[in-house]
Structure 1
């Protein structure tokens, strides 16, 4: 078993006034050669966007982009004809593929938007761009793992072009659950959205990240009421 621990205050940080962003992995002006990615998990940005502000139209290509709102309303528009608003309790995925342009704005004039922006390196290049958005059905599986993303369109949650599986876990203090990996070549990056938890001897606080791989399973224990995102991804980068 191998592990890596990223304390919340060790992340990169950018303050653009209208945008405040913490970067778990190297992104934009934050470059850390020891934090380029976790397997195919390339970007994990913890973003806060001021009211009425946002990201203007910009391009992406050959990347699976996942947005998970934590607070407020985020408006999305793209070049494949999608206009939508995503809110807490929903998840959005966009396969950039052969190329797509999109914008993201805080829909509201009087409150912040907080959301996670996650990039996964795909296992297929030059796919047709696509968009999907679903409700997560929050709290449906208390003290258990709730799948919100997979590689299979017929499974629960959204799907992407990669052998990845995301789960949300809402645990009450003192509850624990064993997580079994879907593939021995995968690892899991655990991100504490709120509360605190423990994996083995490692204590994890809010916004801490913890990667674990070369194992078949591990046990996650909540030391406080907690909301936790688990991102299981291949550890080997695809050959381009």
Structure 2
């Protein structure tokens, strides 16, 4: 089954420094039918204005992944990690028993655009930890590139959950195939472009698809496209 959510059906929030689009219940948005998909609990699509951001705030019992699409994101935390992320970087933070951190746009003239995802961990009371990795953006072209996994390789961040996150940039009229074990789930989010799924369902910019009981996918780019695909464990949520 493919459950398609068009971009214009997401809940949006905007103030003078932050524009957020929520794919799942978060903050001011609550829908009892849209809490999570498997262990994927949050996908926020944010734009942060120059010199602005989130001050020190706490997290617990979550695996937090940040993917910068444009601009820069400066991170500081109570583990004494400091870093600046940009396109080509992935950040993974295990909040575990508790961590404090801040995130802001350190530039004076450029918006920061990012995706932030939260996953429920496969184990509670983990020690907080932090990792940021760089990936070769050329390796996204016309293939699926693993950037986060519970079985990581080179240039792949490790996560405490049975998930793998792939990014891909498909040239117009190119396609990739994805297969997974039965009983699992797939989440697909189109960052840019237009993607035809199994010759039947079209996803446009910022649309998502929640896929169950379908484990063999063909993704065809109807125009130059950029997307995130997540291989998730099965379950009731």
Q: TM-score, normalised on structure 2? A: 0.96
How far residue 89 of structure 1 moved from its aligned partner, in angstroms, is 1.0
How far residue 186 of structure 1 moved from its aligned partner, in angstroms, is 2.0
CA contact (8 A) 1:139 1:170 kept: no
CA contact (8 A) 2:133 2:155 kept: no
CA contact (8 A) 1:40 1:237 kept: no
Aligned equivalents of 1:96, 1:54: Cα separation in 2: 19
Alignment correspondent of 2:74: 75
Establish whether residue 196 from structure 1 lines up as the match of residue 184 from structure 2. Answer: no
C-alpha distance 198-124 of structure 1, shift in aligned 2 (>3 A): same
* Of 65-74 and 206-215, the range deviating more from structure 2: 206-215
SS of the residue 2:8 aligns to? helix
Establish whether residue 117 from structure 1 lines up as the match of residue 116 from structure 2. Answer: yes
CA contact (8 A) 1:38 1:235 kept: no
Alignment correspondent of 1:211: 210
Alignment correspondent of 2:47: 48
Q: Which runs of 4+ in 1 moved over 3 A?
A: 153-156
CA contact (8 A) 1:172 1:222 kept: yes
Aligned equivalents of 2:72, 2:183: Cα separation in 1: 36
How far residue 16 of structure 1 moved from its aligned partner, in angstroms, is 2.3
Aligned equivalents of 2:153, 2:105: Cα separation in 1: 32
Alignment correspondent of 1:25: 24
C-alpha distance 17-235 of structure 1, shift in aligned 2 (>3 A): farther
* Unaligned ranges ≥5, structure 2: none
Superposition pairs for residues 56-75 of structure 1, below 5 Å?
56-75=55-74
Aligned equivalents of 2:193, 2:44: Cα separation in 1: 19
SS of the residue 2:137 aligns to? coil
Aligned equivalents of 1:80, 1:226: Cα separation in 2: 37
CA contact (8 A) 1:41 1:119 kept: yes
Q: 1:185-222: per-residue Cα shift (whole Å, max 9, x none)?
A: 32111100101001121111000001112222111111
Superposition pairs for residues 1-240 of structure 1, below 5 Å?
2-154=1-153, 157-181=156-180, 183-200=181-198, 201-236=200-235
Q: 1:153-200: per-residue Cα shift (whole Å, max 9, x none)?
A: 44651010000001111101111121011x433211110010100112
Aligned equivalents of 2:5, 2:32: Cα separation in 1: 14
* Unaligned ranges ≥5, structure 1: none
Q: TM-score, normalised on structure 1? A: 0.95
Q: What is the CA RMSD across the aligned residues, in angstroms?
A: 1.4
Aligned equivalents of 1:154, 1:195: Cα separation in 2: 29
Q: Count residues in correspondence.
A: 236
Aligned equivalents of 2:13, 2:100: Cα separation in 1: 23
CA contact (8 A) 2:135 2:155 kept: no
* Of 71-80 and 145-154, the range deviating more from structure 2: 145-154
